[in-house]
Amino acid sequence: MRLARPLAVTLFAALSFVGIAAPASADPAAAGKYVALGDSYSSGTGAGSYGDSGSCKRSANAYAQLWANDHAPSAFAFVACSGAVTADVLANQVSAITSDTELVTISVGGNDAGFADVMTDCNLGSDQACVDRNAQAQNFARTELPGRLDSVYTEITNRAPNARVIVVGYPHIYHLDGSCSIGLSETKRAAINGSSDVLADVISARAAAFGFTFVDGRAAFDGHEICAPGDNWWLHSVTWPIDESYHPTAAGQRDGYYAALTGVTG
């Protein structure tokens, strides 16, 4: 997910606030072709080391790249891109999937539901404005997102009917009743986490309908959200560049997502 660029300067000026251990890999067996699809949570935005990927911000520290490094797939297509919505995945990413693809990972849906606008409204508006904007996003997720996900999942299945598909979900952004004494109110934090819950429910249900495996980001990041005690957070709060705000750090990609993914794949 990515915060909309026109809001960057306004949001930055307005804001004043401000692991799960990866299992040891003893020479894992080589794998078949692996294709990594999705949005910024899969591209690794926020984790640094983006190489020549431009605005897609594909990080060398992203869970997909870490998995490829350790498992030596016969081919690896890393096409996830910051800001991607389901239509972008269909138009620009799924073509990387071929009939010999054995593994596909994907996170998508948060941008469709308007995550960037949610975070902007919650940072700049009142408690009620934040609650209302989250309610709109949750309604979209329940009513419109399932059909969009089905279109993506159908295309993946058609292109590689024998591939294992792992759908990666989003974490809770905040640890409630946590260590932060400034920043968003607890009401706003709870509303944002509620949207993560709705996304998880919708995405996991559609993944299950297609026989895909769902990796729950809330469990993967549990105890390491923003405001978690001990300040061992695996998510950025507000950052500069602004589009890395509310995204996993390098530690979050490694100790959160990568650890959870290898817990499923070995």
pLDDT of residue 22: 37
Catalytic option among 40, 53, 196, 245: 40
pLDDT in tens, 209-225: 999 999 999 999 999 99
φ, ψ of residue 50 to 5 degrees: the values are -95, -5
189 burial level (CB within 10 Å; 0-12, 13-18, 19+): buried
Q: 95 near 35, Cβ under 8 Å?
A: no
pLDDT in tens, 171-190: 999 999 999 988 999 999 99
- Distance, CA of 122 to CA of 178 (rounded, Å): 18
pLDDT of residue 1: 54
User: What element of type H or E holds 164?
Assistant: strand 164-168
Q: Which residues of the chain have pLDDT under 50?
A: 2-29
Task: For residue 225, give the nearest of 190, 187, 260 by alpha carbon.
Answer: 190
Active site residue 40: yes
Active site residue 172: no
How does DSSP assign 178-224, residue by residue?
-S-SSSS-HHHHHHHHHHHHHHHHHHHHHHHHTT-EEE-HHHHTTT-
Whole-prediction pTM value? Answer: 0.89
pLDDT of residue 30: 55
Q: How many residues does the chain have?
A: 266
Residue ranges of E strands in 10-163: 33-38, 76-78, 101-107
Fold of 5-265: Rossmann fold (3.40.50)
Task: For residue 253, give the nearest of 167, 153, 168 by alpha carbon.
Answer: 168
pLDDT of residue 181: 84
Catalytic option among 71, 172, 224, 247: 247
pLDDT of residue 64: 98
